[in-house]
Amino acid sequence: MWIVRKLPMLAAMIVVCVGLAFLTNRPPKDFGLETAMGAEDSVTIQGTGATFPAPLYQKWFTEFNKEHPNVQINYQALGSGAGIKQFQQHLVDFGASDAAMTDAEIAPVKAGVVLLPMTAGALVLAYNLAGITDLKLSRQAYAGIFLGKITNWNDPAIAKTNPGITLPDTKITVVSRSDGSGTTFVFTSHLSSISDEWKNGPGSGKSVNFPVGVAGKGNPGVSALIKETPGAIGYVEFGYAMQAQMPMASLENKSGKFVKADLTTGKDALASVELPENLRAFVTDPSGPESYPVVTYTWLLVYKKYENPKTWDALKSVIKYGLTTGQSFSADLGYIPLPGNVVDADMKALDQIS
């Protein structure tokens, strides 16, 4: 049964409202700034979307703002589903999603769509078990937990891979997302790739009916529920779990090795991925022996045509900042810096936009 619990407003939503702007004494080459802008040329840019990259985007916007005080960007991290929907309805200047838009989702957007992978990261299974900080979960175990087949922490499927650890006879509480979520899409796509029962049951998507558990809004909401619920386990972006100092399970990868989420195992998972021309690539179950099994790119959604050139000039400068200097903040916040070939592909894609 699906149960949605009421969450504190702080945990339910991240709203990032950061003023950004261009300094008039910077040369035009500064992150692609096309023209110098004065105080009378203030621009406000609206964006909505994924909570997964929100901490990194907040960092980019804050640092960019220190040098560019006249362009304001209001970014509401309401989830990938909301980001795509508001982008389709032209209610925002850009969207953000951990699930790249499909052809069917792109079709109604008359201004055209360009998808830009801006960063990458891992999804982890964070949990709340007192005194246990080094938990290993096999593919059978974590698929069984989310299917509702494994209901207690001392189940043999979990105990088998954790010798020497006394697991409590505590009920498992699964925590998932209540909102339309690219994070849910990534995790359920992975579950579908490793479990036929999941694939033929709940399946994959931004909104999925989980067989068991409770639900929270956004990565912050799921993290808060896990922390306050003994015996809980849920899927969250690595950076959120890292910043909150939450225990994270080592997961069995396709090669049968138990690996922790970190910069090295995340990079390994992305190493074999070749982005197609449309820049949509999904890594549902990487095969490298050192690869962490659940990783994803996350995309900005931008239009091919902007009616106001000042809006695009400002947004383009912020995007170029994120693809260059902004990547240096990734590792400290738990994200995987983009490989050089992906940055080059994004820069090339920007030329399609006017």
pLDDT tens-digit map of 290-306: 999 999 999 999 999 99
Q: Tell me, what's the pLDDT at 74?
A: 85
- Tell me, yes or no, whether 284 lies in a domain: no
- Tell me, yes or no, whether 289 lies in a domain: no
34 and 74: one domain?
Answer: yes
144 and 259: one domain?
Answer: yes
Q: Give yes or no for residue 151 having a pLDDT over 60.
A: yes
- Tell me, yes or no, whether 3 lies in a domain: no
pLDDT band of 22, cuts 50, 70, 90: very low
Q: Tell me, what's the pLDDT at 6?
A: 37
Lowest mean pLDDT among 41-50, 130-139, 181-190, 298-307: 41-50
The pTM of this model reads 0.85
- Tell me, yes or no, whether 317 lies in a domain: yes
Q: Tell me, what's the pLDDT at 119?
A: 96
214 and 338: one domain?
Answer: no
46 and 19: one domain?
Answer: yes
CATH number for 132: 3.40.190.10
Q: Give yes or no for residue 336 having a pLDDT over 90.
A: yes
Over residues 264-322, the pLDDT tens digits come to 999 999 987 888 999 998 889 998 999 999 999 999 999 999 999 999 998 999 999 99
Lowest mean pLDDT among 2-16, 223-237, 281-295: 2-16
Q: Buried b / exposed e across 7-44, counting CB within 10 Å, b at 16+?
A: beeebbbbebebbbbbeeeeeeebbbbeeebeeebbbe
115 in helix, strand or coil? strand
256 and 127: one domain?
Answer: yes
Q: Tell me, what's the pLDDT at 79?
A: 92
Q: Tell me, what's the pLDDT at 31?
A: 52
152 in helix, strand or coil? strand
150 and 228: one domain?
Answer: yes
134 and 234: one domain?
Answer: yes
Query: Averaged over 214-238, what is the pLDDT?
Result: 95
- Tell me, yes or no, whether 283 lies in a domain: no
- Tell me, yes or no, whether 287 lies in a domain: no
Over residues 176-203, the pLDDT tens digits come to 999 989 999 999 999 999 999 999 999 9
Query: Who contacts 89 (Cβ-Cβ below 8 Å, separation ≥6)?
Result: none
Q: Give yes or no for residue 104 having a pLDDT over 70.
A: yes
pLDDT band of 152, cuts 50, 70, 90: very high
Q: Tell me, what's the pLDDT at 18?
A: 37
Q: Give yes or no for residue 15 having a pLDDT over 80.
A: no
Q: What percent of the chain has pLDDT over 70?
A: 89
Query: Who contacts 99 (Cβ-Cβ below 8 Å, separation ≥6)?
Result: 80, 84, 182, 185, 186, 206
pLDDT band of 69, cuts 50, 70, 90: confident
Q: Which amino acid is at 46?
A: Q
Domain boundary among 216, 236, 270: 270
127 and 260: one domain?
Answer: yes
Q: Tell me, what's the pLDDT at 136?
A: 98
pLDDT band of 206, cuts 50, 70, 90: very high
Query: What would the DSSP string read from start to end of 200-240?
Result: TTT--SSS---SS-EEESHHHHHHHHHHHSTTEEEEEEHHH
* Total count of domains within the chain: 2
Q: Tell me, what's the pLDDT at 55?
A: 93
109 and 238: one domain?
Answer: no
Name the average pLDDT for the chain: 88
Q: Tell me, what's the pLDDT at 271?
A: 86
132 and 257: one domain?
Answer: yes
148 and 104: one domain?
Answer: no
Residue 155: both structure tokens together:
């189940």
Q: Provide the domain limits for residue 218.
A: 123-270
Q: Tell me, what's the pLDDT at 41?
A: 76
